[in-house]
Amino acid sequence: MSAPKDKRGRDGILPGLLKGMATTAKSVMRPTHTAEYPHAEPTLPPRSRGVIALLEENCTSCMLCARECPDWCIYIDSHKETIPATTEGGRDRQRNVLDRFAIDFSLCMYCGICVEVCPFDALFWSPQFEYAEYDLRDLLHEKDRLGEWMATVPPPPALNESAADPAEVTAANRPERGR
Amino acid sequence: MSTPTETTLATGAGLTSHDMVLNIGPQHPATHGVLRLKIVLDGERIVSADPIIGYMHRGAEKLFEVRDYRQITVLANRHDWLSAFGNELGVVLAVEHLLGMEVPTRAVWLRTLLAELNRVLSHLMFLGSYPLELGAITPVFYAFREREELQAVMEEASGGRMHYMFNRVGGLKEDVPAGWTGRVRDAVTGVRRRLPELESLLVGNEILMARTKGVGVLGASTIQQFGVSGPIGRASGVDVDLRRDAPYLAYAELFAPGGPGRVVTRTEGDCLARLEVLLEQVHVALDLADACLDRLATLPSGPVNQRLPKVLKVPEGEHYVATENPLGFNGYYLVSAGEKTPWRLKLRSASFNNVQVLSRMLPGQLVADMVAILGSMFFVVGDVDK
């Protein structure tokens, strides 16, 4: 294959090269777009799925997250504790106590289904991503490590002005039953 | 004593040559993953080529059968990792059809917008990587700079940079953040403004022309035999685009006469034509994204999803949905037995067919043109091996 000829009939790779160099020269004049990561922190949006944080007090060990996880990377152990009745003739109550809550981030697909299904707001996404490990097994975060991520959870962003009211607002505005 | 006999020990090979079997891949930078090409060479000429696939087979279809529809979107957006939004879309459209579910208008337009942004992202990837395979290192930096702008707005809405996981049966996961549409507008305008820089490195470049013009010509009849679709089909004059011909989402309105949508075609069918189709489709997709933003601004307030039951069961039945993914037709054939998991979910992916045609295209070509042809087929190995 021979290169196409230019107007004077010469082999012309020069115009293309010059055009490319002109574009490069234009870019050289502009400040760089790349951020030098370890020195410059990236600004990540609040919805960014970096790591899953656990608010242990909210967890009732209902196992919904562990069951809905597409690759079953959430491990939960719990036991039941009996709280004796506080009043005379009252009933003893049972309470779930969370013994272990672990997410294996080497298996996690970062889909966010566990965060979505949690009925008690115990799981949150954090944009924090700096938890790379040299050993795969260290990516299994136990509940204390998952709890530490709570400090990095940002508040959710405000929604678009055309968005429908959140379910909580609609529920609060609904007229009471029986009226 | 034996009588002396004349024995020919060897003859000079002269100009004849022996066939040589050459394996390209599975680990080869030009295969974008783990595609193996078994090529039989006669000197510099390719005698036959055999794409050997399956190195990355993950059994996606079988995995779909033991997962509910929300979990399926997680898996489905991963086979073609460059067009996760388009992949999710097919699954939820099939489920919504079987459920007879109507999707809120805002969700339809937001989905169309995100699908077009995803198309730009995927096309920019190939516009950067194809010149890289031809030896031009610079364009990829320009392509990735634009990708970064668009990925930022996709991440702001969905939380993911590649695997968006933003589609749900009945709409989207949640509404977009305040001010997001303005930032999308800025990103689209910025990409459109800077695109000529990338084009200046590709269009009309003599070296690129020499490597691609008239190389790897694919005829329209071969395309129909192999079921090749998308930009590769359109580069050979096969004027089919599901966005116009079998409209889904809001495409019927966008591709109506006078609308911003148009189908980009070329007739040459060579590597250059395929690259040109991709480049022009970026412009069309940006126009479509702008049209979606205009429309979203005029829509009344409303939800972006439907309230779903805790356990979503899809009624018994079957339905096939094909969507125009950046690389071609992406189809899902959903057969439901009324359970919360599908009985069968067949995946028809674009790259699978687009790669098969290599066995017809490569014979007769020079081995030096092999990478130029392979790269111009714009495939993702995950999409081939599923």
Domains of chain A: 51-151 (3.30.70.3270)
Exposed/middle/buried for residue B241 (C-beta within 10 Å: 0-12, 13-18, 19+):
buried
What total of structural domains would you count in chain B?
A: 1
Closest among B274, B349, B374 to B49, alpha carbons compared: B374
Cα–Cα distance measured from residue B13 to residue B15, given in angstroms and rounded to the nearest whole number = 6
Q: How far is CA A148 from CA A74, A126, B124, in A?
A: 17, 11, 39
Over residues A150-167, the pLDDT tens digits come to 999 999 888 888 777 777
Give the span between the Cα atoms of A85 and A1, in whole angstroms: 91
Instruction: Check if A8 contacts B (Cβ < 8 Å).
Output: no
CA distance B157 to chain A (A): 7
Sequence-ordered list of residues with C-beta below 8 angstroms from that of B294, at least 6 positions apart, any chain: none
Spell out, as residue ranges, where chain B has pLDDT lower than 50.
none
Contact B335, B344 (CB under 8 A): yes
In a domain? residue B15: no
The reported pLDDT for the residue numbered B188 is 94
Cα separation, B66 vs B57, in Å, equals 17
Q: Could you tell me if residue B52 is inside a domain?
A: no
Residues of A in contact with B163 (CB under 8 A): 109-111
Put simply, the answer to whether A33 touches B301 (Cβ < 8 Å) is: no
Question: Quick one: which of B177, B171, B176 has its CA closest to B308?
Answer: B171
Within 159-178 of B, beta carbons closer than 8 Å to A belong to: 159-160, 163, 165, 173-178
Give me the pLDDT at residue B44, please.
Answer: 85
Closest-CA residue in chain A for B77?
Answer: A111
Positive or negative torsion for Cα B13, B15, B19, B24: positive
Nearest CA in chain B to A159: B177
What is the chain A residue with the closest CA to B296? Answer: A162
Query: Could you tell me which residues are beta bridge partners of residue A81?
Result: A95
Neighbours of A43 (CB within 10 A): 9
Q: How confident is the model at residue A12 (pLDDT cuts 50, 70, 90)?
A: low
The reply to whether B369 falls in a domain is: yes
A37, A62, A111, A168, best to mutate vs chain B, most B CBs in 10 Å: A111
What's the pLDDT score for residue A24? 84
Determine, yes or no, domain membership for B103.
yes
B34 domain-assigned:
no
CATH number at residue B77: 1.10.645.10
Q: What is the pLDDT of residues A115-145, one digit of tens each?
A: 999 989 999 999 999 899 999 999 999 989 9
Which residues of chain A make contact with B299, given a CB cutoff of 8 A? 162
CB spacing of A163 vs B201 below 8 angstroms: no
pLDDT value for B339: 87
CB contact under 8 A, B163 and A157: no
Render pLDDT for A51-96 as a digit per residue (tens, 0 to 9).
999 998 899 888 999 988 998 999 999 998 888 888 888 888 888 8
d(CA B234, CA B250): 22
Task: Say if residue A69 carries a ligand binding annotation.
Answer: yes
Largest CA distance in chain B: 109
| Per-residue confidence (pLDDT) for residue A53, from 0 to 100 | 93
| Residues of chain A positioned with their CB less than 8 A from the CB of B75 | 70
Contact list, A47 vs chain B (CB under 8 Å): 155-159, 177
Which sign, positive or negative, has the C-alpha torsion B136, B138, B140, B146?
A: negative
Nearest alpha-carbon partner for B99 in B338, B273, B281: B338
* Residue A25 contacts B, CB cutoff 8 Å: no
Name the token pair of A4: 């196409």
**Nearest CA to CA, how far is B106 from chain A (Å)?**
9
The answer to the question of residue B54 being in a domain is no
Q: How many CB atoms lie within 10 A of CB A174?
A: 8
Two tokens at B9? 């020990």
Peptide bond preceding B26: is omega within 30 degrees of 0, i.e. cis? yes
Structure confidence by residue, pLDDT tens digits, A16-61: 788 888 888 888 888 888 888 889 888 899 999 999 999 988 998 8
Chain A residues with CB inside 8 Å of B106's CB?
Answer: 162
Q: Where are the beta strands (DSSP E) in chain B?
A: 19-24, 36-42, 45-52, 167-168, 171-172, 317-325, 328-336, 344-348
Interatomic CA distance for residues B103 and B121, integer angstroms: 25
pTM of the model: 0.85
The yes/no answer to whether this complex scores an ipTM above 0.85 is no
Of A175 and A112, more confident: A112
* pLDDT at position A179: 53
In a domain, B247, yes or no: yes
> Would the CA dihedral through A18, A22, A25, A31 be positive or negative?
negative
Give the one of A4, A22, A47 whose C-beta lies nearest to B159's C-beta: A47
CB B328 within 8 A of CB B354: yes
> Which of A59, A169, A159 lies closest to A114, judged by CA?
A59
* Amino acid B9: pLDDT: 60
Q: How far is B301 from chain A (nearest CA, A)?
A: 4
Report pLDDT for A20. 80
Q: Name the helix (H) or strand (E) containing B130.
A: helix B105-134
Range of the domain at B336: 60-384
Q: Is residue B21 in a domain?
A: no
Best mutation target, A14, A23, A125, to test chain B (most B CBs within 10 A):
A23
| pLDDT tens track for A13-27 | 677 788 888 888 888
pLDDT for A3 equals 46
pLDDT of residue B110: 92
A163 contact residues in B (CB cutoff 8 A): 175-176, 301, 303-304
Q: With a CB-CB cutoff of 8 Å, which residues 120-139 of chain B face chain A?
A: 138
A73 is in an annotated binding site: no
Q: Is A114 annotated as contributing to ligand binding?
A: yes
pLDDT at residue B6, as a whole number: 72
> Structure tokens of B232?
């590769």
Residue B100 region, left (φ>0) first, then alpha (ψ -120 to 50), else beta? left
The pLDDT of residue B115 is: 93
Whether A163 has its CB under 8 Å from any CB of chain B: the answer is: yes
A contacts of B78 (beta carbons < 8 Å): 109
Contact yes or no for B215 and A48 at CB 8 A: no
The 10s digit of each residue's pLDDT in A101-122 is: 999 999 999 999 999 999 899 9
Dihedral-angle region of residue A99 (phi above 0 means left; psi in -120 to 50 means alpha; beta otherwise): alpha
A113 to B304: CB separation less than 8 angstroms, yes or no: no
Overall size of chain A counted in residues: 179
CA distance B197 to B312: 48
Which residues of chain A does B176 touch, with a Cβ-Cβ cutoff of 8 Å? 159-160, 163
